[in-house]
C-alpha cells in the first residue's frame, strides 16, 4: 500500500488567509472536500492539486508539496534546494549528524 502524498495545503491556505469555504468555492467543490483533502482522507489527484494550487495563488501545483514561506521548515528547504553537488550532500550529512545528536 502506498503512503499518501505529503502536502501543505492547509498551511498554504492559512498563509493566504483563506477559509476552507473560499477555497471550496474557488475549486467548485463542497467545503467537506477541502476539509477531507487537508486531513488526507481523500486521495489527492492531479486535477484537485491543480485546482487547489490555482485557488491558493500558487505558481505551480508542486508548491503545495513544500511549506509556505512563513513555515518553520521553509528556510531549510529553500537553502537545500539552492545548494548543488557536494555542498548539498555535505549539508544533508550535517543535518543527519545533528539528528543523531538529538537522539543520543
Successive 10-residue mean pLDDT values, the chain, 104 residues: 78 96 98 96 92 95 92 84 91 91 67
- Among left, alpha and beta (phi > 0; psi -120 to 50; other), residue 101 is alpha
Q: Are residues 15 and 38 in the same domain?
A: yes
For residue 2, is it within any domain? no
| pLDDT at residue 2 in the model | 58
Residue 40 lies in a domain: yes
Residue 84 lies in a domain: yes
CATH code at 24?
A: 1.10.260.40
Q: Which residue has the cell 471550496?
A: 24
Query: Does residue 1 sit within a domain?
Result: no
Residue 24 lies inside a defined structural domain of this protein:
yes
Nearest of 7, 1, 3 to residue 58 by alpha carbon: 7
> Are residues 23 and 49 located together in one domain of the fold?
yes
Residues 49, 92 within the same domain: no
pLDDT score, position 71: 87
What was the pLDDT predicted at 100?
Answer: 87
How many whole angstroms separate alpha carbon 31 and alpha carbon 21? 5
Number of domains in the chain: 2
Domain co-membership, 32 together with 59: yes
81 and 45 within one domain: no
**pLDDT of 6:** 86
Q: What pLDDT is attached to residue 4?
A: 64
If asked whether residues 18 and 40 sit together in one domain, one would say yes
Its domain, for residue 19, covers 9-65
Amino acid at each position: 500500500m502506498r503512503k499518501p502524498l505529503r502536502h501543505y495545503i492547509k498551511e498554504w491556505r492559512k498563509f493566504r488567509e483563506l477559509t476552507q469555504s473560499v477555497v471550496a468555492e474557488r475549486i467548485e467543490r463542497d467545503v467537506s472536500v477541502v476539509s477531507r483533502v487537508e486531513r488526507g482522507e481523500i486521495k489527492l489527484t492531479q486535477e484537485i492539486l491543480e485546482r487547489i494550487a490555482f485557488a491558493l495563488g500558487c505558481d505551480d501545483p508542486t508548491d503545495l508539496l513544500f511549506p509556505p514561506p512563513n513555515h518553520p521548515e521553509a528556510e531549510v528547504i529553500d537553502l537545500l534546494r539552492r545548494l548543488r553537488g557536494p555542498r548539498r550532500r555535505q549539508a544533508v550529512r550535517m543535518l543527519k549528524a545533528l539528528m543523531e545528536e538529538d537522539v543520543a
